């Protein structure tokens, strides 16, 4: 029996999708807009990390920590809190990089996240 491309099981383990646990029905209409903005946040995380702009990275992590909680996405809140904590503790850039990459991985697992909506480059200082 010969296998065709795509027949073999994936070597990557299945990654759980993160779903919103939003408890405030009044915020549901805003959740879609928030989800559409996440790719821009990921692009900005990457840009700030590449620029080694830890001050702005800390601000963005803080914002993601709060917005993740607001929209019932506690894994974002937890991961962003870890980034913020490391920066405030003046951890090494390697440690911060690892945490930021972990935060990005969490964000990409959110149900409704669409990488195709990522802008080519986020302008410096732009936030959503």
Cα 8 to chain centroid, rounded: 30
93 domain-assigned: yes
71 domain-assigned: yes
Grouping H, G, I as helix, E, B as strand and the rest as coil, residue 101 is helix
Distance CA 46, CA 90 (A): 19
13 domain-assigned: no
pTM: 0.79
For the chain, 128 residues long, give each residue's pLDDT as a single digit of tens.
343 444 444 444 456 889 998 888 888 889 999 999 999 999 999 999 999 999 999 999 999 999 999 999 999 999 999 999 999 999 999 999 999 999 999 999 999 998 875 554 444 444 43
124 domain-assigned: no
Per-residue model confidence (pLDDT) at position 11? 46
Per-residue model confidence (pLDDT) at position 23? 81
**Token pair for residue 20?**
């919103």
Going by C-beta distance under 8 Å and a sequence separation of 6 or more, which residues neighbour residue 84? Answer: 58, 61, 62, 65
Task: State the residue range of the domain holding 63.
Answer: 26-117
1 domain-assigned: no
10 domain-assigned: no
15 domain-assigned: no
The CATH number of whichever domain residue 58 belongs to comes to: 1.20.120.160
Distance CA 37, CA 114 (A): 9
In the chain, the number of structural domains is: 1
107 domain-assigned: yes
């Amino acid at each position: 029996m010969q296998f065709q491309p795509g027949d073999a099981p994936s070597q990557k383990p299945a990654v759980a999708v993160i779903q919103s646990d939003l408890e405030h029905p009044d915020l549901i209409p805003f959740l879609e807009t928030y989800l559409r903005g996440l790719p821009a946040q990921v692009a900005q995380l990457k840009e700030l990390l590449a620029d080694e702009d830890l001050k702005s990275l800390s601000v963005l992590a803080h914002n993601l920590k709060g917005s993740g909680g607001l929209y019932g996405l506690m894994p974002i809140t937890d991961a962003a809190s870890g980034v913020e904590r490391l920066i405030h503790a003046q951890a090494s850039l390697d440690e911060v990089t690892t945490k930021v990459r972990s935060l990005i991985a969490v964000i990409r697992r959110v149900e409704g996240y669409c990488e195709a909506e990522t802008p080519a480059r986020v302008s410096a200082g732009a936030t959503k």
